[in-house]
Structure 1
């Protein structure tokens, strides 16, 4: 008991640098990911294509020296997780070209609501007061965002709808991530299948553009690669943080603090001025996502392995 006590006392601090890097990378990525489109009119499907290739970098690091699980269970869960995640990315890049990041990312951060409701409906998991409070805050936040886009015309409703679709896709993804972990699929293999899924959807992105565009300056793909590497490597830091710390602490960081950094950078760098409804929606969205993830992960950790 005393021998394990030393390692236990050291272990809680080991995840902090990776979680901090995760927040930094995803927060900066969220704020600047739309720049290639805004500066060079770079098509959002091409942003997806570049992102899919940048996923190879963290995939190589995560799988280095480890066995890639090719079993039917790992492939089934991995591809489902990857396709919902990559499909969400494809929709997200479109949303970011027509809407503000400081509104889109708080909506995306509500994805735990989908995970919690799926666990309640499909797994008959009992939800505590924190979970239901988070769901209610999430619904109120979406209503506030809907009111705030009323003056933006059709475009406001489009990016709001796209953000909600991303939220649903990533909520479903998180649900099956949990099921894959219970089935014994390791994180590195899941990440590898996620990378494969992202590459599989490249032809879909190319079809959306009608082919590969070649009439853009080199700065456009270079800037895209720079921002999307932040996205891809941030996912690697997530895996590293989750393997070293409690999910009940790491998960709220990923769902709340990264969007907060995105919001702050968007407001400071781009001088955005959100409305009162948007500010209220942002606060409620972040609070709701944190409550839902905290409650869900705490409950899962309480179940004996």
Structure 2
């Protein structure tokens, strides 16, 4: 696949990611709300649902057995899955209305790493779009009724670590693509990473819970959306700039979740979330427009970058 094709198709996969993660976000809380299903058990089921898109992807592409593929694949998987387990611990120690805005800044880490280490260049319009998207992510992450004083503690350190881990995860996905690792291999290693941490999740909740069959069934139904969305993230990052893909997807997926929640649960967004929606849509539009304008620049004038093996 040519560089030009990559630039054109990252938008498609980013859009599919937003669709799957947006729908998943709207219904992901149902197992806990309906049956009191533990978050750690939701993680366990999510790890196993990753096997489905991994199997489909590996039917189309061979598994890359090079050490560099394992290095970047495991790095992406462990930072993502490890961050999820840290989030459970943080939420048990601190307030969600402070933790989620901190964690939501993870695209900042991705952008900084992409610009500094991958030498990605983004124009002025794209920079404005990135800033708007990042502000939107934080505003959307502020829950309704947030307020009150709270003391800092271990939860703040954990929130910062999660932010760094999830920001680095997107960087490692992009780095794997630039090293010529195909999407299926990267996602395969991410699946292995998630399964490796399943025993940790079981230990965190003190054993398997006693729950009706509807709880794991509903969890599997929602988490398969999460797993497929993760595959689309890998595919988008192998074709587009990490400094653009990460802010766009992290901003637009919650927007779709809010819209679906409004339609299904008739839950109105907060004032902050409404402002965030406007910024997310505006910032994402600017970034896509800037990328398309860059596409019009003759390739002879473009700086050479390693081609992704898609």
For the Cα contact (< 8 Å) 1:107–1:163, is it kept in 2? yes
CA 1:295–1:51: 2 relative to 1, 3 Å = farther
User: What residue ranges of structure 2 are gaps of 5+ in the alignment?
Assistant: none
**Deviating runs (4+, > 4 A) in structure 1?**
11-16, 18-21, 91-100, 106-110, 123-127, 143-150, 152-155, 157-167, 237-243, 285-302
Alignment partner, residue 46 of structure 1 = 41
- Is 1:247 the equivalent of 2:221? no
Aligned residues: 290
Normalising by structure 2, report the TM-score: 0.73
Report the alpha carbon displacement of residue 197 of structure 1 after superposing the two structures with TM. 0.4
1:256-277 deviation line (CA, Å, top 9, x unaligned)? 4433211111223223233323
> Considering only aligned residues, what root-mean-square deviation do their CA atoms show, in Å?
4.5
Normalized per residue, which structure has more helix? 1
Normalising by structure 1, report the TM-score: 0.74
Report the alpha carbon displacement of residue 217 of structure 1 after superposing the two structures with TM. 0.9
How far, CA to CA, are the matches of 1:158 and 1:34 in structure 2?
A: 25
For the Cα contact (< 8 Å) 1:141–1:280, is it kept in 2? no
Matched ranges for 1:138-149 at <5 A: 138-139=134-135, 142=138
CA 1:112–1:71: 2 relative to 1, 3 Å = same
Equivalent residue for 2:218, pick from 215, 218, 223:
223
Matched ranges for 1:136-285 at <5 A: 136-137=131-132, 138-139=134-135, 142=138, 150-151=146-147, 166-213=162-209, 215-238=210-233, 247=240, 251=245, 254-285=249-280
Report the alpha carbon displacement of residue 66 of structure 1 after superposing the two structures with TM. 3.2
Equivalent residue for 1:81, pick from 67, 76, 80:
76
Report the alpha carbon displacement of residue 281 of structure 1 after superposing the two structures with TM. 3.4
User: What residue ranges of structure 1 are gaps of 5+ in the alignment?
Assistant: 1-7
How far, CA to CA, are the matches of 2:112 and 2:211 in structure 1?
A: 44
- Is 1:28 the equivalent of 2:26? no
> Which secondary structure does the structure 2 equivalent of 1:247 belong to?
coil
For the Cα contact (< 8 Å) 1:31–1:263, is it kept in 2? yes
For the Cα contact (< 8 Å) 2:173–2:237, is it kept in 1? no
